[in-house]
Structure 1
Amino acid sequence: MRQANNITPRPHRLVPPKIILTKYPRAVFLAATVAMGLSGVLLCSLGAGPSFAKTPLEQRWDRYDGWELAGFRLEGVPPGIDGRLKDGLALTGKRRLFRGRERPLFRSGLLRDDMARIRLYLAREGYPDAEVFPESDLRLRERRLSLVLRIEAGPPVLVDSVNLRGWPAGPARPAPSAGILPLPGTRFLDPMLEQSRAKLLRLLRNRGFAQARVAADVTPDSLGRAVITFTVTPGIPSDISEVVVSGCSPDLVPLVRRLVNIAPGERYSAGRLEDATFELRASRLFRQVTVTPDSIAPGKVKVVVELENARMRSIDASVGTWSDNPWMVRTGWNHRNLLGGGRGLEVHGAAAEHLWKAGGGLTWIGWLSPRALTRAGVEWITEKEDSFESREWRVDLIRSLRPRGRDMAHTGVSLSSIVLTSFSSEDEGAGDQDSRLLELWADRSWDWADNPLNPRSGGFAKLAATGSPPLGFVGYPYLSAQADLSLYRSMDDWGVLASRVRLGLAAPLGSAEVLLSNRRFYAGGYSTMRGYGRRELGPRDEAGLPLGGNAVILAGTEARIPAYRIVDLVLFVDAGQVWRKPGDISPGDVRTAVGFGLDVHTPLGPLRAAYAQNLGEVIPGEPKNLWHFGVGYPW
């Protein structure tokens, strides 16, 4: 039976003393915010421990401990922060696909903690006077309650004005549109001061002011608004007198100096030191990297580089789904400094259902650019497909550069000797083909996903181009380009929405009329279009053998929804097609499939099973539905 609200405990206020900016200095506001932060940390870590006396709030509500929490909502949250605030509360619970929202059993300690979290969060968002009032709707016989936390946020603290004092004469003052200083009229946020102070400090230290200091102060005006003042003590501009390297093996010191790339006499810049730190870590030659400035005289700074050699030898092994192979096992051995000075040796191998390859090469850092990794190697590749078999020996020279983070840029040149046998009588290059290829290629990738193995936000993009010039010894010259884009969007408790698109175009050059079979585009299968078997999308001969093509378009979207613990439900839509020539592209040829699947998360990556159903009219010989299995996300 639903009970009237008159038996609900009287709303209880558990808030620190109000912070009234018109009467108290900023120090009181900061002290209260810090105190609330410390209390929040203690509440989160200690909970309602039995060794601590219960608060008056808990004493009023502990009679309902253990009751089922049938509903929970917030009222009165200021616009723009409702979702972010509620997601961080323990009483919100977690959304499960097959069981809906799972909320914890009611505990007065959880109520106390969540109320403290709300006040702390709102104080940091510019509402220091916020108060929280709990209200409930009870069902006594069922021992259930629905809880409402009613919030009275009060007026926000706004920025009245921003003053910048002591700015040096050299560098330009930051413009209001630069995003460095808070804007008058905006809501005052507690992290705002430190963020702006750090940006000002970075700007000065990148202009040579190695000893710069920035202090921030906030005072209230007569209307309770915040007056922010940044006081700069710049010091004098500094030059770099020397770079001192210690801790690494002697053979690596010249390489370290090239990677640091700072010459004595240069104007000091904190950004240059950050770049040097990144390059040293990206080399994977050092376990520890520290690059710091040391003031040795007025206007003089010594850069100290402290290093510790890493373990140079490594063995890698992995299993998963790469390219369009249902499975692949890869392994490799690498010694990054076998020959000294950052020169190493690597060997690798891979085995898959349709591919075998092995190779090795010499690697070194700093050729043509102090930031580049260069590899000169040889590789043997065997491909066994339904429509062809190929054996290829390849020598290549590859230069890799990491512009920032996980972004990569590669350029390379390779010379290949290929023996290829085509099994399709409709292939213009049918029969045995003994050819040589000189290929020049480059690719550039951008990776801004939050997690490379299990992304929930961000994305990945890649552009690649390959050209084989029509020289006398080149059997099948061609030009090829491909663009890929993947995007990830978090749906909070509902998981992740992942989307991808691919466009590829190719054409023979010179007197060649076709591309070699192993240089064409193929689609269909686990990693491209799940409505078809592997490489079965696109042109095929009378026997059903896939011929591949010179143009491909693929698109797909899938929702990865948490279902139960390590299991996710996947709902997806895939579309695409392969055409013989770019001029044959027609939207009417695009095939579409929908389906569902299950992901089981393991240390090796997600184990995936998916069922796909083709939409529209099915061409004779094409599947209507099928299953796919794989390891790892296709994009």
Structure 2
Amino acid sequence: MFFSRISTRRAPALGKPLLLPSLIAALLMPVAAHAFDPFVVRDIRVDGLQRTDAGTIFGYLPVKVGERFTDEQAGEAVRRLYATGFFSDVRIETANDVVVVVVQERPTIASVSFTGMREFDAKTITDSLRQVGFGEGRVFDRSMLEQAEFELKQQYLNKGKYGVEVTSTVTPLPRNRVGVSFEVFEGEVAKIREIRIVGNEAFSESDLLSELQLTTPGWLTWYTDSDKYSREKLEGDVETLRSYYLNRGYLEFSIEPPQVTISPDRKDIFITFTVNEGKPYKVSDVKLAGELLGLDAEINSLVQLKAGDTFSAERANATSKAITDYLGELGYAFANVNPNPVLNRETHEADLTFYVDPSRRVYVRRIQVGGNTRTRDEVVRREMRQQEAAWYDAGDIKISRDRIDRLGYFNDINVKTDPVPGSPDQVDLNVDVKEKPTGMINLGVGYGSSDKAILSAGISEDNVFGSGTNLTLQLNTSRTNRAVVLSHTDPYWTRDGVSRTTSAYYRVTEPFYNNDGDFRVKSMGLGMNFGVPISEFDRVFLGVNLENNKLTTYSNSPQAYQDFEREYGDGANAAIFSLGWSKDTRDSALAPTSGSYTRLKSDLSTLDLKYYMLSAQQQYYVPFGRSYTLALNGMVDWGKSYGGNAFPVIKNIYAGGMGTVRGYEGSSLGPRDTLTNDFIGGSKRVVGNVQFYLPFPGAQQDRTLRWFAFADGGQVYGGNDNIKLGDLRYSAGIGLSWNSPLGPLQISYARPLNDKPGDDTQSFQFQIGTGF
């Protein structure tokens, strides 16, 4: 009988996991073998299998039934079976011309669990461990377990947690399975105690440190976490220093790998950057080379560096991008522009040449939409400004993607350009989208600092049957306003993009501050409004609302409402014609970070109520870096009656509270009633807001959740009052905004800056359904 076996003993771990598979260990161990005479195999049998199919074993054997079997083949068979990683022991026995393969299978991993892990969710780590071959259903191997522990520790080290400890427990289970549990002691994140920059002469260390994302502990680092070490942030800071010098002409700048040391208790990090500055270079000449397509003047106008300027890598790259984008708009989808500075080290000047390679001009053969399981193709296609069978235009493609994104139907939009095989002058445009739920049913209880309890219920669908139209039914009630609104919007009522909105509503309005039933206004109406696009960003609005208003007054009603009833009776009809214009270049309607919004509107009411109202609003959003935004907002409203009647008090406008001037109670600014001293609003209003947005800690995936600091100013004026800026009320404070599932949510804490006796102030305010 022949016996062959390879030992499964492992070499000791030298401070790190054993990464070599058992095959290597097997190859390094001698094979114990007893010579035997070759024979013709009459049969092959396999013993010890529990999960592995016998056919798998036969596939690895170097011999089949009817063939000669030698001792060399026996050794080869053992090595092959060990190499699969399925077995912890392999023996080959022979008797009466029968080969018996005896194996002992390694157990499989039935479960992987974690305890004490708070920094990561289990799914993220499980997916990471699968990348190194360790997970449920995999064959259990001690070396893989050590590698899994090493990978888990690496995840924590990347987060700056150097005190992490990982202990694994392997529990045998029936049917040759094991359960693996990792117990994690995370420890504290190591904080940066010192950052040094060595070798700098042209710029002070404090100036360079102010450019870095990583910092030492300070009074605000509890919020920014910038004093917690992160390898990704460190690599980013290396590139920040490199860019800082290259943008100031230091073309020979170099930086050595940062030296990172940690204290013995693994709580403090010390970082040293060593830089070699060189000398700054000026641009001696700027040239264009390559194929310019006769567009020398046009391309030259895009160059941002001139002779005599200090070299700037940022401006050089911006020039390359501008030329590439320009050529892309002309159909050169694969244009390439490379800046190449040639250094004169004696004079410290650089000749800068932009090599332009437009490649070939192409046109779009086909636009293909994918990923839309519910939304119709035409809903996406009608937003495309790039047309099929037209020259490729990078500008139109960018606008098309932004328009699709603004629909709000998709979580992700990816536009790819793929060459057409065999047609060098054609490309296909693939628009891949990832749909998100667009319908919402809500039933809830809210609370507003002005309207108190708010009960709301509604159903809305922004993409009805995938058609791109909106249908909404909304019910809500509060202390002062109750409403039922049904509306339908078709953004492409015509093929040219004219939108149509039809609506029906019923509203009941009561006083803001007296809950004794001083008056009640019931309004019922039908409306139809149209929006006509006149450019990519501009739209004209026009429409009409037919409305019936019924007023109920009491003995203690405000004088203004009693006067209205004497003048108009207890009921008044109105046909309100609207005309307006808007321009919207914001990058997002929910959480804008750049762009502007302009809206002008005029309302003219006829029939019983004769008045007109002119309104204007302007917003600007100015980004500061990638995480901060300055928002500016201004509103002016001016109303007047005609036909000899006073401006109808039921159409008065208000200010104070969320949306206008925070720090004052809702709708509390402006004129008071001569009889009851209630706030009754006015026909004129001026409002201004300044808001600075900051990122919310830990909300990197939700850009709609942001802190802000603000300053407000505004006032309301009666029909006979002149607008006086000296009457404005001001406030300042901080707040939080979030696009919650129930709508835009804002919470603010404000302090009035110039309140007068009789003003009603309110520091803490919040509201759902209010935007900036």
TM-score for the superposition, normalised by structure 1: 0.68
Match of 2:242 among 109, 115, 120: 120
Indicate the residue corresponding to 2:763 in structure 1: 627
Residue type at the aligned position of 1:439 = F
Deviating more after overlay: 210-219 vs 603-612 = 603-612
Q: Deviations over 1:405-443 (max 9, x none)?
A: 9x7856241323232426422344236232122321435
Residue type at the aligned position of 1:366 = Y
The whole-number CA distance in structure 2 between the counterparts of 1:85 and 1:400 is 52
Residue type at the aligned position of 1:610 = Y
Matches within 5 A, 1:114-513: 116=238, 119-125=241-247, 126-127=249-250, 128-129=252-253, 153-171=277-295, 173-174=297-298, 176-178=300-302, 180-222=303-345, 223-241=347-365, 243=367, 252-263=376-387, 265-285=389-409, 288=413, 290=415, 292=417, 294-295=419-420, 300-307=425-432, 310=435, 313-315=438-440, 332-338=458-464, 341-343=467-469, 345-368=471-494, 370-371=496-497, 373-386=499-512, 388-399=519-530, 409=539, 411-421=541-551, 423-427=557-561, 428-430=563-565, 432-444=570-582, 446=584, 448=586, 452-453=590-591, 461-468=597-604, 470=606, 473=607, 475-485=609-619, 500-509=633-642, 511=643, 513=645
Shift of 1:612: 3.4
Indicate the residue corresponding to 1:32 in structure 2: none
Matches within 5 A, 1:43-58: 45=158
SS in 1 for 2:564: coil
The higher radius of gyration belongs to: 2
Shift of 1:485: 3.9
For the structure 1 residues 525 and 278, does the alpha-carbon distance in structure 2 shift closer, same or farther, using more than 3 Å as the test?
A: closer
The whole-number CA distance in structure 2 between the counterparts of 1:399 and 1:581 is 30
Q: Deviations over 1:460-485 (max 9, x none)?
A: 54423132254xx4533423213244
Indicate the residue corresponding to 1:525 in structure 2: 657
For the structure 1 residues 310 and 370, does the alpha-carbon distance in structure 2 shift closer, same or farther, using more than 3 Å as the test?
A: farther
Task: Note if contact 1:392-1:419 (Cα within 8 Å) is conserved in structure 2.
Answer: yes
The whole-number CA distance in structure 1 between the counterparts of 2:235 and 2:377 is 54
Shift of 1:505: 1.1
Indicate the residue corresponding to 2:10 in structure 1: none
C-alpha RMSD of the superposition: 5.4
Deviating more after overlay: 440-449 vs 192-201 = 440-449
Residue type at the aligned position of 2:564 = G
Residue type at the aligned position of 1:482 = A
Indicate the residue corresponding to 1:534 in structure 2: 666
Residue type at the aligned position of 1:280 = I
Indicate the residue corresponding to 1:612 in structure 2: 751
Task: Note if contact 1:375-1:398 (Cα within 8 Å) is conserved in structure 2.
Answer: yes
Task: Note if contact 1:91-1:114 (Cα within 8 Å) is conserved in structure 2.
Answer: no
Q: Unaligned 5+ residue runs, structure 2?
A: 1-154, 165-189, 259-267, 513-517, 700-704
Shift of 1:544: 1.2
For the structure 1 residues 309 and 555, does the alpha-carbon distance in structure 2 shift closer, same or farther, using more than 3 Å as the test?
A: closer
The whole-number CA distance in structure 2 between the counterparts of 1:231 and 1:268 is 22
Residue type at the aligned position of 1:208 = G
For the structure 1 residues 81 and 403, does the alpha-carbon distance in structure 2 shift closer, same or farther, using more than 3 Å as the test?
A: farther
SS in 2 for 1:204: helix
Q: Deviations over 1:304-344 (max 9, x none)?
A: 44455735652165998999757867664344554565445
Indicate the residue corresponding to 1:545 in structure 2: 678
Residue type at the aligned position of 1:413 = G
Matched residue pairs, number? 560
The whole-number CA distance in structure 1 between the counterparts of 2:295 and 2:441 is 49
Shift of 1:488: 6.6
For the structure 1 residues 503 and 320, does the alpha-carbon distance in structure 2 shift closer, same or farther, using more than 3 Å as the test?
A: farther
Indicate the residue corresponding to 2:126 in structure 1: none
Shift of 1:574: 4.3
Indicate the residue corresponding to 1:577 in structure 2: 715
Q: Deviations over 1:526-570 (max 9, x none)?
A: 442345432221111121122221211233557789999999998
SS in 2 for 1:426: helix
SS in 2 for 1:90: coil
SS in 2 for 1:547: coil
The whole-number CA distance in structure 2 between the counterparts of 1:597 and 1:341 is 41
TM-score for the superposition, normalised by structure 2: 0.58
The whole-number CA distance in structure 2 between the counterparts of 1:308 and 1:68 is 42
Task: Note if contact 1:321-1:634 (Cα within 8 Å) is conserved in structure 2.
Answer: no
